[in-house]
Structure 1
Amino acid sequence: MIIIEGSEGEGGGQVVRNACALSLVTGKAVRIENVRAKRSKPGLMRQHVTAVEAACVIGNAECQGLHVGSSVLSFTPGRVAPGEYHFAVGTAGSTGLVLQTVLMPLLLADAPSRVVLEGGTHNMLAPPFDFIEKCFLPVINRMGPTVEARLVRHGFYPRGGGRIEVDISPAPLRPIDCLERGALIGVSGQALLAGLPFEIAEREIKMVRRELGWSDREAGIRELPDDQGPGNILLLEAQFEHGTEIVSGFGQLGVTAERVAKKAVGRMLGFLESKAFAGPYLADQLLLPFALAGGGSFTTVKPSQHSLTAIDVIGRFLDRRLAFSQRPSGMHLLTVQ
């Protein structure tokens, strides 16, 4: 059994998700101690429990210590069974993070699957659905499998209530190289709003147009039905020849619309100034599929502690070496050996 110290490195829930996914793929049992020890509320939260429950269901796995607040988790995998699955996270726990746990095992299964996830689709502690659909999945589809995701209903923090549907046609993951993003094709900004004063979105978009110089056509507002809120997210998208980057800012109590927009704008400007293929969040997401493909490379900005921790976990399960190296341009190159 592989033993992982959950307090090492970034010390968050990603360790749990990646460990369970890798356990299902490799057939190696794992025990994680001091789960999420570096978080303000250590131990498993609701969305982590749902993610592991989902891994148990698709992989006929046995698990000990699976409850909210647990600091020790033991996971013994069985055989992954493709099929139709429905998982409800509850409140605004991230549907995307649950998908992250089961996607790789189902991609490598021997038949198609369909996964329906209910809960949060847009919350502060996870990539929003738009990022998964437009930034992450296109890269996965270039690697061999076909994954199609649909957003049926938005779910914001703290209420949740969102729904996504994912169809997975498996295939072996083949190595690819994502070194250049190509020319900028277009940009867009959208302030999503549900059950909140319309002027919040107006102020966010005003800031985007002023700071980025985007036109009225490129940056606008989308008001959702009140029953899908309350919630607000600002999405800024840059589409290149070979990939897309989306950065987001989440509205929250006590934070002005201008501050939400300014932070998102700063992140987008930083990425536009770089020449990297992947931003920091996409780099995090790509580590596991690239490792499972057994090769390939991509360029990114400075690697996060999140990414470095993921590499450590991957190295416990796979005989693969993932390494970042800085290039003269300031970009970092991730290679798999």
Structure 2
Amino acid sequence: MIEVDGSAGGGQLLRTALSLALCTGTGFTMQKIRAKRSKPGLMRQHLTAVNAAATIGNAYVEGAELGATTLRFEPGVVVPGEYRFATGSAGSATLVLQTVLPPLWRCDAPSRLRLEGGTHNPLAPSADFIADTYLPSLAKFGIDAGVVLERPGFFPAGGGILHATVSPAPALRHAEFIERGALQSIDAIAMLSGLASGIGERELQAVAKRLQLSQNALHLRQVRPSLGPGNALLIRVRHEQHAETFTGHGERGLSAEKVAERLADEAKAYVRGSACVGEHLSDQLLLPMALAGSGAFVVAAISDHLQSNARLIEKFLPVEIDWAEIAGGWRVTVAS
């Protein structure tokens, strides 16, 4: 039984612990869950991830309640199959998906998932990030998984529906994300639900001006029927060997131009740099690399999420995760 201090990070520590408990058969207790957040303890998306992990892994759980700051999780046998998980709110469905994928790809049969909740939330990977960046990155390890977005779900209404499939991948390949190759394309997508199209058009024009994009690279999507107001702005940057997806969200009191300029600057900084992997993907690559036993990538900066996730993974698996500064960023290495 592993003891985990949840105050060292946010919900990501809990999700990683759940995934690794099911992958290794090692239970854990976590204290001070999300202790440094404005609302400590388990929120709906975290509770859904706990219940989803317990369901697929026949686990014994103590403390699975809203607001709980202590959790005990004892895994059983992971069973592939068809599952449906709903956050019951705009809580992130994609974070629940990332929790259950690793134990399911280690099974000997495929699984199908229906996830309901938020698909385009602040502070969580968007469904587009999952489809265009995360899953293609997993494919380099030999992981065959796919997602189909049936209906987007925005904060605060939620109501999104995401379908996912995952095939068996019991033995992962070594993978490296060092060189990204030549720039191939940049395009922008403005998604709107229950809001005037003019908002998205202003966002796209601001992005085009900031990144020098042609009109052919701009795409406007109206979500119908609308379950409530929502706006997500996406910028996809494709290089020969890697693709990154940047996501911004409309906010009350923040102009469309400001939303677009802030996101465009984030994408521009990535393009002007030389690092292969973006900040948000970097900590998410650690788990598959650790399960593979090795791997490496180059990122522009070492985030707090990456550091806390690395130290937690080392508690469950016989790997060492290190990083060293190099020209243009940091090289992160996973070795057994």
Query: Smaller-chain TM-score range?
Result: over 0.9
Q: Following the alignment from structure 1 to structure 2, what is the Cα–Cα distance between the partners of residues 209 and 20? A: 41
| 1:79-104 deviations in Å (ceiling 9; x for gaps) | 11111111011121101100111010
Equivalent position amino acid for 2:297 in 1:
F
| 1:102-148 deviations in Å (ceiling 9; x for gaps) | 01000111111111101110010201000011101011112112101
1:207 matched to 2:206: yes
1:61 matched to 2:66: no
Equivalent position amino acid for 2:17 in 1:
A
Equivalent position amino acid for 2:274 in 1:
K
1:95 matched to 2:93: yes
| 1:193-212 deviations in Å (ceiling 9; x for gaps) | 11012221122112111111
1:191 matched to 2:152: no
Q: Could you tell me the TM-score, scaled by structure 1's length?
A: 0.97
Q: Which runs of 4+ in 1 moved over 4 A?
A: none
- Checking the alignment, whether the CA contact within 8 Å between 2:7 and 2:34 is kept in structure 1 is yes
Q: Which runs of 5+ in 2 are unaligned?
A: none
Give the aligned partner of residue 256 of structure 2. Answer: 257
| 1:235-256 deviations in Å (ceiling 9; x for gaps) | 0111111110111110011211
Give the aligned partner of residue 175 of structure 1. Answer: 174
Q: Following the alignment from structure 1 to structure 2, what is the Cα–Cα distance between the partners of residues 197 and 227? A: 12
Q: Which runs of 5+ in 1 are unaligned?
A: none
Equivalent position amino acid for 2:316 in 1:
F
- Checking the alignment, whether the CA contact within 8 Å between 1:54 and 1:98 is kept in structure 2 is yes
Give the aligned partner of residue 82 of structure 1. Answer: 80
Q: Could you tell me the TM-score, scaled by structure 2's length?
A: 0.98
How far off its partner does 1:226 sit?
A: 4.4
1:1-337 map, 5 Å: 1-8=1-8, 11-171=9-169, 172-327=171-326, 329-337=327-335
Q: Following the alignment from structure 1 to structure 2, what is the Cα–Cα distance between the partners of residues 334 and 173? A: 18
Q: Identity percentage over the alignment?
A: 45
How far off its partner does 1:229 sit?
A: 3.4
- Checking the alignment, whether the CA contact within 8 Å between 2:54 and 2:75 is kept in structure 1 is yes
SS of 1:227's equivalent in the other structure is: coil
SS of 1:16's equivalent in the other structure is: helix
RMSD: 1.0
Of 285-294 and 227-236, more deviation after overlay is shown by 227-236
How far off its partner does 1:220 sit?
A: 2.8
Q: Following the alignment from structure 1 to structure 2, what is the Cα–Cα distance between the partners of residues 257 and 13? A: 29
Q: Following the alignment from structure 2 to structure 1, what is the Cα–Cα distance between the partners of residues 255 and 69? A: 36
